[in-house]
Amino acid sequence: MNNIETFSNIPHILANGTEWYLGLSACVDGGTKLYGVSGRAKRPGVFELPLGTSLGVILNECAGGMQDGYKLRAFLPGGASTAFLGAEHADIIMDYPTPEKAGSRLGTGLAILLDDKTSPIGMIRNLEHFFAQESCGWCTPCRDGLPWVERLLIAIEEGRGTPEDIERLHDAARLIGPMGRTFCAHAPGAIAPLASGLKMFAEDFQRMVSKSTPGTVESGAAGQAA
**Binding site residues, ligand SF4, CB under 6 A:** 135-139, 142-143, 182-184, 186-187
Alpha-carbon gap, residue 34 to 173, rounded angstroms: 30
Alpha-carbon gap, residue 160 to 151, rounded angstroms: 11
Alpha-carbon gap, residue 59 to 147, rounded angstroms: 33
Nearest residue (CB) to ligand SF4, 54 versus 135:
135
Nearest residue (CB) to ligand SF4, 31 versus 177:
177
Alpha-carbon gap, residue 169 to 164, rounded angstroms: 9
Q: Assign residue 31 a region (left: φ > 0; alpha: ψ between -120 and 50; beta: otherwise).
A: left
Q: Smallest gap, in angstroms, from Cβ of residue 141 to ligand SF4?
A: 7
Alpha helices, DSSP H, located in 60-201: 97-101, 120-134, 140-143, 145-157, 163-176, 186-200
Q: Smallest gap, in angstroms, from Cβ of residue 94 to ligand SF4?
A: 27
Q: Smallest gap, in angstroms, from Cβ of residue 146 to ligand SF4?
A: 8
Question: CB burial class (10 A; 0-12, 13-18, 19+) of residue 60?
Answer: middle
Q: Smallest gap, in angstroms, from Cβ of residue 142 to ligand SF4?
A: 3
Q: Smallest gap, in angstroms, from Cβ of residue 194 to ligand SF4?
A: 15
Q: Which residue of the chain is nearest ligand SF4 when measured via CB? A: 142
Nearest residue (CB) to ligand SF4, 107 versus 120:
107
Q: Smallest gap, in angstroms, from Cβ of residue 140 to ligand SF4?
A: 8
Nearest residue (CB) to ligand SF4, 69 versus 137:
137
Q: Assign residue 84 a region (left: φ > 0; alpha: ψ between -120 and 50; beta: otherwise).
A: beta
Neighbouring C-beta atoms of residue 25, cutoff 10 Å: 18
Nearest residue (CB) to ligand SF4, 182 versus 212:
182
Nearest residue (CB) to ligand SF4, 7 versus 183:
183
Q: Smallest gap, in angstroms, from Cβ of residue 193 to ligand SF4?
A: 16
Whether residue 84 contacts residue 40, with contact meaning beta carbons closer than 8 Å, is answered with no
Nearest residue (CB) to ligand SF4, 124 versus 187:
187
Alpha-carbon gap, residue 186 to 136, rounded angstroms: 9
